[in-house]
Structure 1
Amino acid sequence: MALAPLLPAAAVAAGSLKVDAALPYVCALPSGQRPATVRITAAFPERAAVGEEIRPADVTTTVELPPAAVADLVALKAATVRAESRLTVGVAQGEQRAEAVWSGTAQPVAVPAEGPLVLTTTGDVPSLTTDITGELTLTAGKFAVDLAPGTADGTATDPPSLSLSCAPGEDAGDRTRLAAVPVGAEVPTGEPGTPPSTPSAPPPSAPGTGLPRPPLPADRTAPATPGTPGTPATPGTASGTPQGPRAGKQADDGTPEGEEPPATQEPRPDAPPCITEKPTPSSLSAYIVGYSNVRKLNGANLIPLSCIQVEQGLIEFVEKPDAFHIITPAEGGLSYQGRRQTPPFEATFLTFGFVPTTATVVLEQVGPLTMRGDMALTFPVNTALAHVRVPVVLRVLDAEVNGTRLDVGPSCRTKTPLKSHEPEPEKYPGDHLVLVGRGEYEYGKDSKGYLVLDGGPLTGEAFIPAFTGCGVGGEDLDPLLTAAISGPGNHIKQIQSPVCSVGVPEPPAELCTEDGQPRQIPKPER
């Protein structure tokens, strides 16, 4: 599940560079560290002009997992398995560095009785642009695959998903280098590959360029810093000013002469930990909190403050009939004590209108969370539309009805993920929540509504599926919970905080704590 391509992936231009690399990896399986083989095929242009889009085509990723992986799935009584993969690709040009994530999906395949498990995923990947000359290299890095096993009767296993993380083996060596694309001088105006001229469109971003951030709203404005507000930030920057070795005299307090000392930050309010392990320059984190209706119970429940951690992809500049658009992709998930879920929370309602019922539940992520911001560069106001997609199941940990504990057992959850209307089902298949944010940004003014980096309100509507696995000792509680809770029309409103750019050398103090956690704590809104 990735960005929609400007051209079909199969359309490879003449003079393309074909890549077919079979690389040794080591994957962390439930049974331990095991060797695996990851084969990557793709096609790149042999060379590109400055500002010209470089789009990998015909991208497939095939992972051959060892027999131990089959044994792990058989132990879960899995008959089929569906895979979603994420390959981190390092992009380098001169001193510039960045990372892109190549995502892919696969149709369910049968779990073999023995032997290796071979999974092939395909998907569209972010394009690349650069405004400087020099060789652009792409290198395969860490690889992750999310497995969604299913039983013979079509239901999910327990747990409903397995996430495997893999790294290149020690013997991979230089073979991880996938391609090197020479980038020459800029194409003269009017020739193919020249970005159309428009007064409102910024130049294409070089590898390593961060996502564009509008100025902060007045109630959380940062201390003045050099740079142009609203422009894309370069590596190691917070506001568009390159960070690196600095020359010049220092003031007595350590501040460079001519600069104001940094403002003292107020302590962050209490919040669950949100520390990103091994952050990259593309790592972002934020908090999200809000309410969800349960239509059948005629009430709303607070979904608690939750940590989101994502890896941003490379920005795309896309020409559309109305304007130039900045596309900002990211992918990741919820994080709570090392798990992809919300913190446990209590939901209290009057079941069937008169029976007081309290349940302890979590929203458990069973696939990657994807974010896709789309800002149209229109003068004078830029308009933004963002979609956040995440597959989650509702798991019930404990319940109490009219003061009496109801033993729901260890496996009580919805049969399938919560489901929203998906405007692009062919690009984003499967059941998942869809939250939508809309915003506006006018240069030099506060942003309004929702922007991926500035946060704001996200809304959506969910269908809650039927429940399964509820009850112990032969007592089947599935019909009771399904009758009381499951159904359509459950409105959701979540508020996201501004993101913390975890991996940059000097993250903005007004957005990040000293240990790299989001400083801004959002408040729920009904």
Structure 2
Amino acid sequence: MKAKPAAAPRPSRARARTTSIAAFVVLAALVPTTATASGTQEVEAELPYVCTLPSGQLPATVRVSADFPERAGAGEAFTPSDVTTTVELPAEAVADLTARDAAEVRAATRLTVGVAQNAATATATWRGESEPVALPGSGPLTLVARGDVPSVAGRSDGDLTFSAGALAIDLALGAADPAGADPGSLTVDCALAEDAPGQGLLATVPVGADEQAPSGSPSSSGPAESSGAPDDDAAPDAPGDGRPERQSERSPKVLENTPGAAADRDDVPPCRYDEQHPPTDVSLNAYVTGYANVKKMKGAAYLPPSCVLIEQGLPVPGPPDPEYLIFDTLSYANFHYRERKQTPPFEATFLSFDFAPVKATMVLEQTGPMRIDSRMKIRLSDFTTITDTYVRAPLVLHVLDLEVNGTPLDVGSGCRTETSLTSEDPDPANFPGDHLVLYGRGEQVIGLPATGYLLLSGGALSGEATIPAFTGCGSDGEDLDRLLTASVSGPGNYIKQVQGQTCAIAAPVFPSPENEGQCTEDLQPYEIPVAER
């Protein structure tokens, strides 16, 4: 037999080019991917509800979808993922909203979910937010809300069940005529219909071994509303009652997500005004952090704490409203990192094809002013304050470095998105152009702490973005734009940012026994926020 001649070796540059392109093919994203875990059950439940609107009680359809594990170990905490609450309100509800001269609506949902294991129960709240939706000319109104939900764990063996309960829908209305009166907001309370299948059952997750023991109850590492027997950490029922508590009597607990601890101050960039950026009487500074999803890759990139310098505007009277006093405030802000309007570089590491480690270094660069529009409404009946805030920021994603399996790949110095990340703006006529939009709502009842997002005290802002096509990626004649665009670019990428308490430079509040700190001694933000998914 004649041996086949060996293939001639390819030139090193061609081999390097092939390796580079192949790496980008398997890279598929610049954020850590999350492989779909084996043993995941996808749940979608369609449930009838009765909702109370100005015109009376009306039927509604609510669809809840989420991913649950097929099984969990005793004491193992898990979080339902990809949670979506879709509410379909009838045409009569649309008429109620258009009667207020509303043309669009944004919804925030609060779904009460009962968690049970054997005889013990707990209550969790699943929150979601929708994008602005135009009111239809006819037919029903469909609102799709997405958000994060608490983690839960079964304390021992036994089925863990999740059942839908009461639903509250906060509707923020947009005016048909921007120059007209603000249609205000409306909260719609909905109750599960009596004929709901399975009494609202959403999912069942077996906990423990395949052969389940009869005892156990759901738990997690934080407090929650509960019913049934006392908590397992509680004292005995009476002095001298030393009987051991049965597992089935343990009161369940549900924990609102606390994804991690705040970063150490040595690990965050400085955030202070200087000679190049002198403060004014209305200057604030704050740290922001969070996560940004890439829908194509089912993964998220952690955005470490970044410094933002803010010039707070002065409130001016808003449109007249018979039920509210309204004030509008326009503020401006800039990222601040080493005299540049950008975030610090951040790394994302993941496994391509589950075996090749890939690490990317990126920054978000600001290409124009960051605008913060806040509308505060004071309800005349009880002086409750509701504040809606929109942050509009033109930001491009710039890829600095890339490594595949420890080997650096040269993406060049100009690898970035062609334009800013873009969102659907609720007011495109007044705010044209490419920019990211994040939204937050804050509420304060007299005598109680504020909840949600306020510019001064911070909180969570969220939105969805389209990642544009990439340009300028590659070197030595290699054009990697199309590969990167196909892997990463596209719509529907959820972003959640958390802003910390601001430091008011002209009136700093330092930590003391009487006050929580807002500023450090050198006038940096005292609070370093924790990112939330």
TM-score scaled to structure 1, two decimals? 0.47
* Structure 2 length-normalised TM: 0.47
Larger Rg computed on CA atoms: 2
